[in-house]
Structure 1
Amino acid sequence: MTTTELVRPRGAVRAFRSGGLSRSASFWFIGALYALFLMASTAPSPMYSIYQQRWGFTTTVLTEVFAVYAVAILAALLLFGSLSDHIGRRPVLLVAVVLEIVSMLLLAFAPAVGWLYAGRALQGLATGVATSAISGSLLDFQRPGTNRGSLVNGVAAAFGMALGSLLAGALVQYVPGPTLTSYLLIVLGLAVAIPGVLAMPEPVAHRSKLREVLRPQRPTVPAGKGLAFALMATTLLASWIVGGMFMSLGPSVAKGMVHGSPYLIGGATVAVLAGFGGLSQLVLSGVDARRAVRIGGPVMVLGLAGVATSTVEHQPILFFAAAAVLGTGWGVVFMGGMRMLTGLASPEHRAGTSALIYVVAYLSAGVPSVALGVVSTFFGLTAATVVFASAAALFAAIAVTSTYLHR
């Protein structure tokens, strides 16, 4: 789940050059497009166990496939995060949609595990390129004087992840071609979205030379705010560790507890976490950032304790109830943490600070998931889940404490 703050370069003008869609229709279309990208991001989760059985790779490899996606998103944000501010939203979105279609086809027809790495890497690149352009478009098209763009950004991401995982699990369980159908349906949705991208008005009038903007965004800590950034970054560590684990190992953990409809259960694992995360952001969207972390942190700890207990005791009902509680806290902590961190930077340094935020975020998702894959390979999924829950609970407690240490 990603949210980004963009800095409009000097000379860029909101011209809203003509398009077939109105400004309001473009706003909701962009939100739906972002949900579609995030649906694609979680669609492989219920299929990982099929790939493992088919090609005989370890849990470590499974988590590496997830980590490749996270690293590719990070690289795309660092390299192309401000590209749409310079050359326009529509061309960047068109490229991102085409790349996403190619990545879906690679995953759909993958003959070996190496293709999973390639498909997920390309998908991460496409999602990263799309994320900044979509975030900027939501801010461009939102009703003046409102904060609706940021809200739709977070909620569309959460519900997109939930719907993608749940639908993929159902299709894998009940429809022929378990590793093909979901991807082809997403390809169809992306193809239908292309005319919408072409029809939306272009809000960026200024055009920079391509060689002037294709340079990495240097991650920076706001001057004099290093300690505050470090303290607030614990909110990302807590929330993104949870997201990384549930999207890589969560379905396998759930499948080990339930004998019937295992793939649907695997998809429901991510859906419950992300769905309740989206609902919590909707319900508490007006809550102050620090208060949101203080509310969400204890809820996360409670949910993590339930997840660990249910895994040890093999209690599927408790597991999904705990996942719902965990998702509620996860969504609120993520929302509050992102607001606090992006609020630290002055406008002229916001892009560099946003780059650093995503370095922390995607390392928090990728590195722990690989570490947990190694633990599960040698000690089993139960031990890995307990280790994960303990680490995430520790960071959640630190995140709550940090809101009192710095004002």
Structure 2
Amino acid sequence: MSRLTGGRAFTVIVLAFLVTMIGTTLPTPMYGLYQQRLGFSLTTITIVFATYAFGVLAALLLFGRWSDALGRRPLLVAGLTTSLASDLVFLVADATWVLLVARAVSGVSAGIYVGTATAAVIESAPERWRSRAPLVATAANIGGLGLGPVIAAVLVEAFPWPVHLTFVVHAVAAALVLLLLTQVAETVDVVPGARPSLQRPRVPAAARTTFIGAGIAGFAGFAVCGLFTAVSPRFVGEAVDQPHAVVSVSVVFALFAASVIAQVVLHRISSDIGATLGCALLAVGMLLFTVSLATQSLWLMLVAAVVAGAGQGISFSKGLAAVLVRVQPHERAGTTSAFFVVAYVAISVPVIGSGIASDRWGLDPTGIAFSIGAAVLAVLALVTLLVDQRRTA
């Protein structure tokens, strides 16, 4: 079979990116079912979720630069194969430790794809799609995260085998895309004898103040993403009596959908303006979410998720862009790596803390405290970025 090139290769790589990221959030509507079956606490739910972030971090640091030496296709195949492997582990998950393994494996697949697939999408884009390729990569990445809970919720509610069928469907989709992916032409020239190396996070002195502001915003935004993905179905359950599975994941879907749409619609605004606007929206969104928890209002939760999601998407993408314009080309990989380390630490550690606090003081009080904390961090990031912009003007 001849290698897939041009538009067909581009489509397959985008599909592989989408399918892999969908797989990482499929368990969201099932955490409650696992809790009933295995009898663990809310703290355990957050630890199971956060294990994914540790897998992402490990993959980013270990494999972040491997595709530069080995080529994009081998890493894309490895990442999707790892995603398929996580489905198989979920299918036999009959104990908490098995769920932890499944989530870690899923995190490794995402960690491989975050950098490699983004580069491959841009490199494989046909000429007419070249200028829009970064947005397509963003849509596949964040859009996949948002679609995962919805697809799983539909399958859980409408069909039998609620904690198994979803992973069977995803495994079949991953296997089909994997077959196509093996036929995609390589998008970079591989140097014979090149050896893969570790990705070392580094922040040059010239960009440190900007990095601090953008990093605080990224930390707050990703912490919000982590909280919503891990326990937002529980927040919805507090506001609505026995909600439909799709309703239970509506808040997390609204967050990720708003993140994608905001990044696409506002991609032409400058990095500095975008970063500050994103921080402001994130702060407002989390204050609205605080009110929604206090009043147990689902519609206000959805509004808050849209505003916070837009803020998260803009502050992250434009914040990273604002940092990268202040560093030399050869420093960008290490700086990007450092930024993602901050982001994925935010997805894990605060969420585990919220789980421990929820078991002690209750879900809604903890959610309110978490939301206020995220809003304060977003305001702090906003002030830091404004000071830095004025200093460098």
TM-score (norm 1): 0.90
Alignment partner of 1:93 out of 58, 69, 76: 76
Inter-CA distance 329–228: structure 2 relative to 1 (3 Å threshold): closer
Q: Retained in 2: the 8 A contact 1:36–1:160?
A: yes
Aligned partners of 2:283, 2:189: CA distance in 1, in Å? 47
Alignment partner of 1:383 out of 332, 357, 365: 365
Q: Retained in 1: the 8 A contact 2:214–2:315?
A: no
1:191 positional shift: 0.6
Inter-CA distance 243–208: structure 2 relative to 1 (3 Å threshold): farther
1:69 aligns to 2:52 (yes or no): yes
1:21 positional shift: 2.3
Match of 2:344 in 1: 362
Alignment partner of 2:122 out of 127, 133, 139: 139
Per-residue CA distance 1:55-112 (angstroms, 9 max, x = gap): 1111111111111110111110111111111111111111111111111111122011
DSSP 3-state at the match of 2:206: coil
Per-residue CA distance 1:340-370 (angstroms, 9 max, x = gap): 2333331222222122111111111111111
Alignment partner of 1:258 out of 240, 245, 250: 240
Q: Retained in 2: the 8 A contact 1:47–1:263?
A: no
Aligned partners of 1:113, 1:136: CA distance in 2, in Å? 35
Aligned partners of 2:339, 2:359: CA distance in 1, in Å? 31
Q: Retained in 1: the 8 A contact 2:227–2:347?
A: yes
Aligned partners of 1:234, 1:144: CA distance in 2, in Å? 36
1:228 positional shift: 2.7
1:144 positional shift: 5.4
Match of 1:6 in 2: none
DSSP 3-state at the match of 2:162: coil
Match of 1:187 in 2: 171
Aligned partners of 1:143, 1:236: CA distance in 2, in Å? 31
Q: Retained in 2: the 8 A contact 1:280–1:332?
A: yes
Q: 5+ unaligned residues in a row in structure 2: which ranges? A: none
Letter in 2 for 1:125: V
Alignment partner of 1:301 out of 256, 280, 283: 283
1:287 positional shift: 1.2
Matches within 5 A, 1:215-234: 215-234=197-216
Per-residue CA distance 1:268-304 (angstroms, 9 max, x = gap): 2211111111111111111111211222222222221
1:337 aligns to 2:319 (yes or no): yes
| Identical-pair percentage | 28
More helix by share: 2
DSSP 3-state at the match of 1:259: coil
1:209 positional shift: 4.2
Q: Retained in 2: the 8 A contact 1:23–1:201?
A: no
Match of 1:107 in 2: 90
Backbone CA RMSD of aligned residues: 1.9
Aligned partners of 2:282, 2:212: CA distance in 1, in Å? 20
Alignment partner of 1:320 out of 302, 312, 324: 302
Letter in 2 for 1:377: D
Per-residue CA distance 1:353-406 (angstroms, 9 max, x = gap): 122111111111111111111111101110111111111111211222222111
1:152 aligns to 2:136 (yes or no): yes
Q: Retained in 2: the 8 A contact 1:84–1:132?
A: no
1:29 positional shift: 2.4
How many residues are paired up?
Answer: 388
Q: Retained in 1: the 8 A contact 2:122–2:137?
A: no
1:19 positional shift: 5.1
Q: Retained in 1: the 8 A contact 2:19–2:144?
A: yes
Per-residue CA distance 1:308-363 (angstroms, 9 max, x = gap): 11111111222222222222222222221121233333122222212211111111
Match of 1:4 in 2: none
DSSP 3-state at the match of 1:236: helix
Give runs of ≥4 in structure 1 deviating > 6 Å.
none
Q: 5+ unaligned residues in a row in structure 1: which ranges? A: 1-17
Alignment partner of 2:146 out of 155, 159, 162: 162
Aligned partners of 1:53, 1:264: CA distance in 2, in Å? 19
1:44 aligns to 2:30 (yes or no): no
Match of 1:14 in 2: none
Letter in 2 for 1:168: A
Match of 1:311 in 2: 293
Match of 2:264 in 1: 282
TM-score (norm 2): 0.93
DSSP 3-state at the match of 2:204: coil
DSSP 3-state at the match of 2:103: helix
